[in-house]
Structure 1
């Protein structure tokens, strides 16, 4: 009898943990923009340069087989949403949804993002299509698929890179291209045309903002 009680408690615990995850996945729509704090080697530098906890971003795809995220890592890939979320620090996530776009436009953006699957990650944050970094993939997907450019382009020199000299030399060599333009996860997150669906980040935008 005792083992039945323990079994029941264990199952209840599993359902309590799983329920919030399932509820979040059920809220997602194709084309949603998802951001988290990456555990990658360069995450700390991105956060320092942008003064934001957000260092990685991808696009959601909802299918009959489950929920996935298309992301630019090494290489550009499509992964299950649960796996993508678990890779973020503490599992925290920010979910943003484009306003004023219909399902067909969001699907076209997702299709544009998937056209880059298999491409290498762009460690130098260039703007060519031969390689992709995460926020570049999202901005280009919506620009190409829906004609909307989210986030503001910034120059490398406009970011707070003063304390990142070693990282900059490793990436670019002696001549750091401070005039090079790029798009950051934080810049995408600030775009008011993307409404907040869910947020675990107290320092970032919250639902209704």
Structure 2
């Protein structure tokens, strides 16, 4: 029975993806509120604002080619191409629907080049250190590296990173992670996060999956 319900749920997501294809374009950014895990909680505690929706992940839509997909950097696989239905299925839910918002660059001229650049990073490992560089990439860092002006300047803004919660404390997840890595918490180093990226003026919202 449980397997049947899972199958039905995935089938409904696939149907929904097909219905929304006209709305979703290759190169759109999919901002995701992830399911409640220790890592997503630590991310939203440090980067979120008061409100119903805080994003902990972002990926790049790739439409067509048999199945719509998402270019993304994940903790388990690094930079990979994920079927859209799978991406939506692992999102948090709002009234039973994926907590995902699709956004698009207002100036679409460089999107094709950005997607090609993102594809060139396939296979790059996940950046648990959250430090600048292309050898490893976290989710919004993949977007930051891929979306650039003609002169090579990143379109999105890198800001001093904050890993602390609103009360100034460091979530235990970050303390444990950087202790295991044997590294200092990169507090204040330039970086990006999905919440800040979603608020950039160069983006416009095109669709909500909920």
Task: Provide closer, same or farther for how the CA distance between residues 200 and 130 of structure 1 changes in structure 2, counting only shifts above 3 A.
Answer: same
* 2: CA distance, partners of 1:95 / 1:144: 21
Counterpart residue number, 2:120:
115
The Cα shift of 1:67 comes to: 1.0
Task: Provide closer, same or farther for how the CA distance between residues 62 and 146 of structure 1 changes in structure 2, counting only shifts above 3 A.
Answer: farther
Deviations 1:113-159 (A, max 9, x none): 11111111111111111100000001110027784634432222486
> Is the CA contact 2:162–2:187 (under 8 Å) kept in the aligned structure 1?
yes
* 1: CA distance, partners of 2:153 / 2:195: 17
> Is the CA contact 2:34–2:40 (under 8 Å) kept in the aligned structure 1?
yes
Q: Does 1:89 align with 2:96?
A: no
More helix by share: 1
* 2: CA distance, partners of 1:85 / 1:146: 34
Unaligned runs of 5+ in 2: 1-9
* 2: CA distance, partners of 1:75 / 1:17: 24
Root-mean-square deviation (CA, aligned residues, Å) is 2.8
Q: Greater CA radius of gyration, 1 or 2?
A: 1
* Normalised TM-score (structure 2): 0.77
Structure with larger RCO (C-alpha < 8 A, sep 6+): 2
* Normalised TM-score (structure 1): 0.78
Structure 2 counterparts to residues 6-155 of structure 1, below 5 A: 19-39=15-35, 40-52=37-49, 53-73=54-74, 74-90=77-93, 91-102=98-109, 105-143=110-148, 147=152, 149-155=154-160
Task: Provide closer, same or farther for how the CA distance between residues 68 and 175 of structure 1 changes in structure 2, counting only shifts above 3 A.
Answer: closer
Unaligned runs of 5+ in 1: 1-13, 202-209
